[in-house]
Amino acid sequence: MSKNQIRSIKGTQDILPAESLKWRVLEKKIHDTMELFNYGEIRTPAFEKTELFDRGVGLQTDIVTKEMYSWIDQGGESLTLKPELTAPVSRAYVQHSLGVQKPLTKLYYIDALFRRERPQKGRFRQFHQFGVEAFGSEHPEIDSEIISIAVTLFKELGLKDISLKLNSIGSENCRDKYKDELKKFLKPYLKDLSASSQKRFETNPLRILDTKSPSDIEIIKNAPTISNFWSNEDKVHFDELCELLDTLKIKYEVDSNLVRGLDYYSRTTFELISPSLGAQNAICGGGRYDKLVEMIGGKPTPGIGFAAGIERIMMTLKNDTDKNSIDIYVVGIGPKVRQTVFALADELRQSNLSTECDMLRRSIKSQLRDANKIGAKYAIIIGDKEFENKLVEVKNLNNGEQEKVAIKSIISHMTSLSF
Ligand code: HAM
């Protein structure tokens, strides 16, 4: 590698044509699935005021304390590349009064996000999410719809061995009581906890339940569980959600330690886990955020959603997408036929047939080799002799069959073939 060569930034990836074709297939499935569920696509700016994430995601979260790409712009304002989309989508929901038009607003997105995390398998600094957010209903029906969107999509994609973890972290009052009890339980073990859990003891004790440290896990095994602190309404909400998931035949495992890493959650939290992903095994995560809209200046509005990591979905998909192929390669050589090659390629594309032709002035043989290499289904060969007789040769590159066709009827001939 030359010393002069500029390379991409650590934790970012180029998506090259063979790979981006697979992304397009996935994106199409996402758009089709969201249409089935009647959700509208939303696109928000790449950067927002830093305050949106400070307030929305929470000052004590890993995202806000150490992972945001923030800067002061020339106007003196603190801006941040979006590290997640629930806060920006909620901001747009409030700003455009979307709730006035519809009592239930159902949105989805596919977008790039930025977090300065330690790059590893399945964890990047620029990554992509497909996410869904629904505003306006506190009822468990929408929780079950949101979860079933994720399950339906992953089933449609043929992903196997995915398990759904489900919890409720209750409403605010119950959580405050639970935090106090959890801290009381953990206090005698404080010095035995990992450094990060010790830090979280004061700032965000619930997150200790998320720990990956084996010795912390041993300690919290006997910790009080949040379900014992749920209000009656929290319990009814969770039980009704479980009943709805049973009706939809969606299997789940209740995990009372699933608290998630963003501060806006209340009641339902869930994750879909794929063991094949290794340490970063969460393919998708989400939950209810009934206070978020209010926290960023809107009217109190319940909300729920999830986001799935596109790179992680791609990692679990088999490499079975069709290779990038085109319909026709127009082959010809020499100044006499060059214009005809170009005009014909243009006409074929206008007839909706994907068409390639040579730009490197190669021999007929190497143009045909190129046609095979890129997976063209037919070659139209314009040889000098045929050209004089106003004929072309059409070759089926799958079975080698060849026939002569009059130039004037080549478009109708090609459009009548099956591709
Ligand atoms: P999250 O758990 O931070 O939640 O991210 C959701 C998903 O994005 C993860 O399960 C993972 O698949 C993917 N992901 C996260 N960070 C990375 C990374 N550094 N590299 C690759 N993939 C990553 C949220 O973002 C919430 N906004 C989800 C939500 C929507 N909750 C309610 N609505």
Place of tokens 């319940």: 302
For residue 47, the model assigns a pLDDT of 98
Query: How far is it, in rounded angstroms, from Cα 137 to Cα 302?
Result: 6
Task: Indicate if ligand 1 lies below 6 Å from the C-beta of 62.
Answer: no
User: If we measure between CA atoms, which residue out of 25, 281, 245 comes closest to residue 147?
Assistant: 245
For residue 129, the CA-to-ligand 1 centroid distance in Å is 7
Task: Indicate if ligand 1 lies below 6 Å from the C-beta of 197.
Answer: no
| Residue 271 alpha carbon, nearest atom of ligand 1 | 10
Whether residue 322 has pLDDT greater than 60: no
| Residue 260 alpha carbon, nearest atom of ligand 1 | 2
For residue 58, the CA-to-ligand 1 centroid distance in Å is 15
β-pairing verdict for 266-273 and 378-382: unpaired
Task: Indicate if ligand 1 lies below 6 Å from the C-beta of 117.
Answer: yes
For residue 158, the model assigns a pLDDT of 87
Mean pLDDT of the chain: 94
The residue among 123 and 335 whose pLDDT is bigger is 123
Task: Indicate if ligand 1 lies below 6 Å from the C-beta of 305.
Answer: yes
Query: How far is it, in rounded angstroms, from Cα 387 to Cα 340?
Result: 9
| Residue 133 alpha carbon, nearest atom of ligand 1 | 33
**Mutation test residue for ligand 1: of 57, 127, 270, the one with most atoms within 8 Å of CB:** 127
For residue 33, the CA-to-ligand 1 centroid distance in Å is 20
Task: Indicate if ligand 1 lies below 6 Å from the C-beta of 169.
Answer: no
Whether residue 407 has pLDDT greater than 60: yes
- Report residue 320's pLDDT band, with 50, 70 and 90 as the boundaries: low
Task: Indicate if ligand 1 lies below 6 Å from the C-beta of 83.
Answer: no
- Report residue 177's pLDDT band, with 50, 70 and 90 as the boundaries: very high
Task: Indicate if ligand 1 lies below 6 Å from the C-beta of 53.
Answer: no
Q: Which residues of 359-382 are buried (b: 16+ CB within 10 A; e: fewer)?
A: eeeeebeebbebbeeeebbbbbbb
Residue 127 in tokens:
């990554």
pLDDT digits (tens, 9 = 90+) for 12-51: 999 999 899 899 999 999 999 999 999 999 999 999 999 9
Please give the single-letter amino acid code of residue 247: T
* 50, 51, 55, 61: CA torsion to nearest 10: 30
Whether residue 323 has pLDDT greater than 60: no
Mean local confidence (pLDDT), 218-229: 94
pLDDT digits (tens, 9 = 90+) for 156-173: 898 888 999 999 999 988
Q: pTM, whole model, 2 decimals?
A: 0.91
